[in-house]
Amino acid sequence: MSAFPAPIVDDMLVTADGYGQLCAELETLRTLRRQEVTEQLRQVREDGDPDDPSLFDLLEEQAQLEWRIAVLEAQTAAARIVAPAAYGTAGIGSCVRVRHGDSGEVAEYELVGTIESDVENGRVSVCAPVGRALVGHRPGDSVAVETPRGTTRLEVLSVRPFAPGQARKAA
């Protein structure tokens, strides 16, 4: 039996906080945003000019809104909420502070499911190369990460649970 969990392949894994955010966005789009777009369409149609360019823009906006609602409905229906990893072990819902072996730069990543990843804000999917390499590791471990730019080493400095609503601090 391996000391590390099996590779994570399910791309619908999500933290409880991430699931709540998806549901909140879905509810906002279904109610407020859908109502706003419908009202704007009604006003443009009342003006009576079928060639009004804003009508076409609004119809496009409505189509994009309905597409996003459909995507969120599918994601929330298929999502599997995962309990945070044990304290000190990297997994979904963990904040992992690492030192990049090649540059010595320190970074902090929150490990999340694929549908809630946001690399620019430090939210790394456990299915991405860095996330996959960190899962199951503890402070003091050194891991090799295969990236499109080649192999890099990361030293795990600390692992802690991510608190919902917690502000991200610069590494």
Q: Where are the domains of the chain?
A: 13-81, 94-161
Return d(Cα 95, Cα 88) in angstroms, integer: 10
- Is the Cβ–Cβ distance between 109 and 131 less than 8 Å? yes
Residue whose token pair is 């590791």: 137
Q: Whole-number mean pLDDT of the chain? A: 85
CATH architecture for segment(s) 13-81? Orthogonal Bundle (1.10)
Q: What is the pLDDT of residues 28-47, one digit of tens each?
A: 999 999 999 999 999 988 88
Helices (H), the chain: 16-28, 34-46, 53-78, 129-134
Instruction: Summarize pLDDT for 95-108 with one digit per residue, the tens.
Output: 999 999 888 899 99
Which CATH topology does 94-161 take?
Chitinase A; domain 3 (3.10.50)
pLDDT band at 8 (very low <50, low <70, confident <90, very high): very low
Equal fold, 13-81 vs 94-161: no
For the full predicted model, state whether its pTM sits above 0.85. Answer: no
Buried-exposed string 129-142: b where 16+ CB fall within 10 A, e elsewhere? ebbbbbbbbebebe
Provide the β-strand partners of residue 96: 109, 159
